[in-house]
Amino acid sequence: MKGFNTTFASTLATKRVASEHQTTVLLASDDSEAKQQVTDALDGSGLAVIDAGSLKRARELEALGFLQISLAAAEKISYGDDIRFCNFNFLASKYKEKE
């Protein structure tokens, strides 16, 4: 199971990114049952969960976490910022013209 390392502690605590957007937790695992247990445990927590796929994605999650830390250390983002994911399907349906 891989998760939480792409999310700064401050955004986990507040459940908000930049004070206005929901914090997203990325999970990767080869054990679908374990991944579901973590997802279920986070249900109702105020955190969004995205299934990032198999444990093969751990390398990409590590790189994303390192990028965030590097940007924060260089003061290009704050530790209250985070990578934000948009649900484009939701956005598309929200703005879809009515037939």
Show me where the domains of the chain are located: 2-95
Q: How big is the chain, counted in residues?
A: 99
Amino acid 80: pLDDT: 76
State the Cα–Cα distance between residues 87 and 76, nearest whole angstrom: 25
Residue 97 has pLDDT above 60, yes or no: no
Residue type, 91: L
Q: Which of 21-25, 53-57, 84-88 has the lowest mean pLDDT?
A: 84-88
Query: Rounded to the nearest 10 degrees, how much is the dihedral formed by the CA atoms of 84, 90, 95, 96?
Result: 140
Amino acid 15: pLDDT: 83
Q: Is 28 exposed, middle or buried (0-12, 13-18, 19+ CB in 10 A)?
A: buried
Which of 58, 39, 41 has its CA nearest to residue 50? 39
pTM greater than the 0.85 cutoff: no
Percent of the chain with pLDDT over 90: 41
Architecture per CATH, 2-95: 3-Layer(aba) Sandwich (3.40)
